[in-house]
Amino acid sequence: MNDNSWLKTHAAMSLNRLLPRLEARFADQVEDDEWEGYLNRLRQHFPRLFSGLHALYGEHYDFFYYLESILASATEMWIHRPKELMALDALREIDPQWYQSQRMIGAMCYVDLFAGNLAGLRERIPYLTGLGVNYLHLMPVFKVPAGDNDGGYAVSDYREVNTALGTMEELAGLASELRHHGISLCLDFVFNHTSDEHEWARRALDGDTEYQHYYRMFPDRVLPDAYEQTLTPVFPDEHPGSFTYRNRLKKWVWTTFNNYQWDLNYANPMVFNRMLEEMLFLANQGVEILRLDAVAFVWKRLGTDCQNLPEAHVIIQAFNALVSIAAPAMVFKSEAIVHPDEVRKYISEEECQLSYNPQLMALLWNSLATRKVDILRHAMQQGFAIPASCAWVNYVRCHDDIGFSFSDEDLRHSGYDPASHRRFLTEFFTGRFPGSFARGIPFQENLTTGEARITGTCAALSGLEKALEEDDEQQIELAIQRILLLHGIILTIGGIPLIYLGDEIGMLNDYGYERDADKVGDTRWLHRAAFDWTRAEACREPDTIPGRINQDLLRLIQIRQQNPALDRAETEIVDSGNEHVFAYFRTNGDHSVLVLANFSETPQPIEGRRLRLLGLRKSVVDLVAGRTIVAAHSLEMEPYDFMILARPVSP
């Protein structure tokens, strides 16, 4: 029955019934032309909204009530949208793919660790603009339980800022000040769960059944046991399984992450509606990029791993349609740290326009460990292409652990045994493997299989910590080259590069978390240190280590921002003919560059004939070194060399 023509007819009928009611309630609160603009967007996006909501909630006897409530919420939130943001909505309509520009440089940080609080962050804007940053992801700034709160990811109130950081007014003010400096604010929408101190959770704890239905609760172990047959725990060190017993409720609550993070029940349309309001509230504070946290987990079905279910996509698509109507300047970024095939399914203009690229991240580290680019090249050839209107967010490190979540098929294709290769990577990055340069710590280690995820800063994992301790100048140089190599790739491969602030000055691991009762046990705090402003000062001196990293990184950023070959360009991953050298073309109209990255600490040749096969001439310009190279027989690459070769335009 739910075929396209049924949906089309019923969407049109529902909209006809709803429009006069919305009009009567809201139209006189805004100017006529504003209302017309709103209605246009509503008409444009309603069919897909209707089809999504109907797929999710059409079975509810009171579906039409929810449909109307959801539209009323969206309209109400739009009416409260500040004028400055409505102007931005209009601007983005003219340039909807603004995030494709080669000028985009992303950065992320914790407000407290980077600048103390929101007021402090305002003062640090010049540091960000100095780096070329125009996209800033602030880690969750909301009200959270005291003590352990998963670094802010246990939200107690989406409309209140953690008092230690500032107020919601300050956050909105900061968003607009950032915008005046050309920086788009990115915030998290932690929508899979709330903290157990959120008002809804408190009411549920008080016995209010209406609110108990906001979460997934079970009176006994029957269903939890049944679900756990096929669930994989995300934080097994924290608590076994995915449920937590609350004796006040005498119920088991679904807690995918920590036991104080309660999973919301999106099977309840009320939850969708209330979370829509929280989302549009954030949009109205000036958020331009909304990071959808833990997207994979929002829908559950017995007998599955409850990750990446089709309904999870439909929920996001329905949110996307509502944002297109009520806050069109905002785009979604998906945080799906799952199998690469599943990561890609969240990416489309009508779902998430942006997505983290966890596969590239993990494979860059894999290539540093193996010195080979076989899996990287194969996997990127298979999976780098996404719709032209969407963009990857490419990163080297973030606040989370590194999971080696590339696919078993890709490992096998290159001749590796998946389980033993992942064990090798854990050994390598924890420094247990003989000769390893890395200094990381395992996260959620499984002592039976030997598999683990890894924590540690970019510099520590790249060898800087060890080299400094051993006072080995040659190793220090290699570590710096590795840091630049990884950043060179995220800056040029296509998409938005995202710098984890601190990495640009080579910050090392912080072992202090082991002495903090709220952090010990969660080894991700190893790479969540307070930003070292003294070290940042030292960047001005080109001979210091932070200076050596920072000044070369700034050059790479400038090359990116100035080169039209990197703007909205296509990426073509190619075979360099050398197993240690990763290579790709970026092509934009007549502009084209070939990027070469040597993942080994020994010099590597690229055959001249291979280069000419790829369309290059004997003489090429390396934009990174700023020199012309004549590669008649071969092109010699230094250890960890990173080159951007300008390809002459064919006549």
User: Which are the catalytic amino acids?
Assistant: 293, 335
- One-letter identity of residue 547: G
Helix, strand, coil fractions of the chain, as percent rounded to 5: 45, 15, 35
Distance of CA 636 to the CA centre of its chain: 36
CA distance 288 to 26: 25
Asked whether 517 and 558 are in contact (CB, 8 A), the reply is no
Q: How far is the CB of 110 from ligand GLC (least distance, A)?
A: 11
Residue number of the CB atom closest to ligand GLC: 153
Q: Which listed residue (278, 293, 427, 510) binds ligand GLC by CB under 6 A? A: 293
Binding segment toward ligand GLC, per CB under 6 A, in 23-31, 150-158, 534-542, 543-551 = 150-158
Site map 570..599 versus ligand GLC, x via CB under 6 A:
------------------------------
Q: How far is the CB of 344 from ligand GLC (least distance, A)?
A: 16
The reply on whether position 522 binds ligand GLC by CB under 6 A is no
CA distance 497 to 288: 17
Helix (H) or strand (E) holding 595: strand 591-598
Binding segment toward ligand GLC, per CB under 6 A, in 57-65, 146-154, 244-252, 494-502 = 146-154
**335 or 465: whose CB is closer to ligand GLC?**
335
Q: How far is the CB of 297 from ligand GLC (least distance, A)?
A: 7
C-alpha distances (whole Å) from 650 to each of 589, 602, 611 are 12, 33, 14
Q: How far is the CB of 257 from ligand GLC (least distance, A)?
A: 4
The reply on whether position 289 binds ligand GLC by CB under 6 A is no
**46 or 257: whose CB is closer to ligand GLC?**
257
The reply on whether position 337 binds ligand GLC by CB under 6 A is yes
Give the residue from 319, 408, 321, 421 showing the smallest Cα distance to 365.
421
Binding segment toward ligand GLC, per CB under 6 A, in 35-43, 113-121, 393-401, 616-624 = 393-401
Q: How far is the CB of 170 from ligand GLC (least distance, A)?
A: 24
**9 or 232: whose CB is closer to ligand GLC?**
232
CA atoms in the 13 A half-sphere facing the CB of 255: 25
Task: For 251-285, give the DSSP string.
Answer: EEEE-SSSTTEEEB-TTSHHHHHHHHHHHHHHHHT
Asked whether 508 and 464 are in contact (CB, 8 A), the reply is yes
Name which of residues 245 to 284 contact ligand GLC (CB under 6 A).
257
Give the residue from 370, 485, 526, 363 showing the smallest Cα distance to 437.
370
The reply on whether position 403 binds ligand GLC by CB under 6 A is yes
CA distance 355 to 296: 13
The reply on whether position 140 binds ligand GLC by CB under 6 A is no
**287 or 573: whose CB is closer to ligand GLC?**
287
**379 or 452: whose CB is closer to ligand GLC?**
452
Binding segment toward ligand GLC, per CB under 6 A, in 16-24, 75-83, 263-271, 399-407 = 399-407
The alpha carbon dihedral of 389, 366, 376, 634 has a sign of: positive
**234 or 468: whose CB is closer to ligand GLC?**
234
Strands (E), 300-458: 331-334, 354-356, 391-395, 441-443, 453-455
The reply on whether position 150 binds ligand GLC by CB under 6 A is yes
The reply on whether position 400 binds ligand GLC by CB under 6 A is yes
Q: How far is the CB of 583 from ligand GLC (least distance, A)?
A: 30
The reply on whether position 451 binds ligand GLC by CB under 6 A is no
**401 or 451: whose CB is closer to ligand GLC?**
401
The reply on whether position 452 binds ligand GLC by CB under 6 A is no
The alpha carbon dihedral of 206, 211, 216, 220 has a sign of: positive
**79 or 234: whose CB is closer to ligand GLC?**
234
Q: Which listed residue (178, 294, 298, 376) binds ligand GLC by CB under 6 A? A: 294
Q: Which listed residue (89, 401, 410, 445) binds ligand GLC by CB under 6 A? A: 401
Give the residue from 648, 459, 437, 455 showing the smallest Cα distance to 553.
459
Asked whether 77 and 280 are in contact (CB, 8 A), the reply is yes
Q: How many residues bind ligand GLC (CB under 6 A)?
A: 15
CB atoms within 10 A of CB 450: 15
Q: How far is the CB of 407 from ligand GLC (least distance, A)?
A: 15
Q: Is 421 helix (H, G, I), strand (E, B) or coil?
A: helix
Q: How far is the CB of 136 from ligand GLC (least distance, A)?
A: 16
Q: Is 380 helix (H, G, I), strand (E, B) or coil?
A: helix
CA distance 515 to 191: 31
Q: How far is the CB of 338 from ligand GLC (least distance, A)?
A: 6
The alpha carbon dihedral of 290, 294, 298, 304 has a sign of: positive
Binding interface with ligand GLC (CB under 6 A):
150-151, 153, 190, 234, 257, 293-294, 335, 337, 399-401, 403, 453
